[in-house]
Structure 1
Amino acid sequence: MHVKKLLLLLSVINMSITYGSELKSDEHVLFIPNIAYQTPDNKLAISIQAWVYEKERRPGMTTLLTKYLGIDKDTLTPEEYELLYQRSQLFRVDSERGKVLSIKLNNTTYTLPKTDKGGVTNQVIYLNTIPSQQNNHSISYSISDLNLPESTNTGLSFFSPDIGLSVISDIDDTIKDSKVLDQKQLLINTFIKPFKAINSMRDWYQQMAKKGISFHYLSSSPIQLYPALKDFMDKAQFPTGSVHLREATTWHSIIPTGDDSRNHKLSTLEKLLNAYPKRQFILIGDSGEADPEIYAQMMKKYPTQVKCIAIRNVTNEDEQSPRYKQLFAGVDSYKWQIFTDPTTIINTCAPRE
């Protein structure tokens, strides 16, 4: 009898692993804004990324997290502690593996692949209807189970026509003052200080958006920080666009290794350039980490698509530094620029009025 019960239990577990399970009422879904594009056979491809998690009570988790980050929580002001608590909330959850999401898109229900061990599911849905040829045209979809929390029900993908100009922008130290070169200060600015926009970059991006340029934001920050980053970009009035964050859904992977960051950015850049093979791209980043090296690699691989590289100088290295002479050897000087003030490169990296 016990053997039969054991076999039945194992069968149920195996079916759950193989086919996945539906969402429970206490599980949440976080959609990350993605892209939509026209395929060579004139279909509409809509990329969807979602993370499924369950909130957990974890006494002492904030103390453990601050120790890992090297932050003394006893020295924090009440305002700093509140920010720490808010921004670390999604590092205190359980990622839900094997969950199957059903979404509604254009009055049709689609089932996404079951979530992986990190609680993430990715899918491209193909439709026969192409939307208006407007840059950053948003396509919305929602979880079909209305019993889930309303705040997590809706996702967006941004459509850009197959021909045009797009910006792929880093976030930290490119549009947000983060101090990436100082890891302790970076963590302080990420978790306990209000995010600070680089206003000159915001002004430049707004000018480009008015010219019909599409935007994609690429960062090695983990997806747990997406709500805080979205709030920051909305309040600072950066143009809307797709957001591509690192799929790291455990608290001890907050700080990426060099390889993690590089691989994430390279794979995302490949995805974006391959999705829009006829579009041109401006790649914008900073000199603090490997943006120049990654972007130079992509320019050499996709010379007709990468129109320009713009690197915000945070390391006091000008165009004559050995780093850039080696990276951009043989590349026309007008196709890359190191800058402090973005107004100096507007006519280089964006179309004239």
Structure 2
Amino acid sequence: MRTPENGAPGTKALPFGLSTIRPLATITNSVRRTLKEVTREIPTCRPPDPNTRKPKYQPPPGACDAHCHIFGPGDKYPYAPNRSYTPPDAPLERFKELQSILGLERAVLVNASCHGSDNTVIVDAIAQSGGRYRGVANSDDSFTEKDFERLHEAGFRGVRFNFVKHLGGMPDMGEFHRTIEKIKPLGWHVDLHFDASDIVEHARLLDSLPVPFLIDHMGRVPTKNGLEQEPFKRLLDLLRNNERCWVKISGAERISSEGPPFTDAVPFAQALIEAAPDRILWGTDWPHPNITRYMPNDGDLVDLIPLMMPDPAMQKRILVDNPHRLYGFTG
């Protein structure tokens, strides 16, 4: 029997019946780990291209950027202490300028994880939009049905969950399913930020979801792996066979291996559109948080639209009709 008197291997007995302690080296390593966690450096994102080019393509009236963000300013809308990154301030005023340059009238503002579960920055932006903006919320397990009802009245129509590994990975699945049950009566969708591998890994989850689900950024499938890569084939199958599945043809800069103007992403968008044209949305993803390689000019992203969908009727369907059907804009 190991006791403070006879000791255990690697420990040292203390007087007066006190319990054993670990060797000094072990304590030092533990302290180092704790200090590293406490003082961890939060990475700062690159800012978006400040010189937005006016695109050659003119979007149709009522066109919607269905995936974009408002960040800060941090002194008014503080960033969450436990965030995985610090974005550049990208306030509403700058976003309005961007929309004017790009010729876009409506927007879906996705509250990103850097603001935690505080959705105030999006609530305030929607309130100033005259019905032209809708929101997608971040939440946690403390949110009640009443909380979601209040967000619905404020213009929110979905809740987002992040599965991307470099941003924290898989969420608490108990919380995930409880949230789904809370939003179901409101007719909301769940926005899923997936890595390509998650499309395969969570196939059963996707098949079982009782609400519409929306997969961001074409599933983040790398273009270098081709149209026949397994995650993309699964994504196409989902669109064809599950009427609750929607996909955003955003994030061309995230999946591209060639860089600007990101035309290697066009065949992927075209395949997704062909699979389910009534359940496709388009977005810029401005201000492009966590971009490590190719920071896009948003004018280039808008000029991909007629390459992805040359038919003007299809452009109207994806830029105007589909987002209106999912989000119910009033302005």
* TM-score, normalised via structure 1 length: 0.30
Higher relative contact order (CA 8 A, sep 6+): 2
More strand by share: 1
* TM-score, normalised via structure 2 length: 0.32
More helix by share: 2
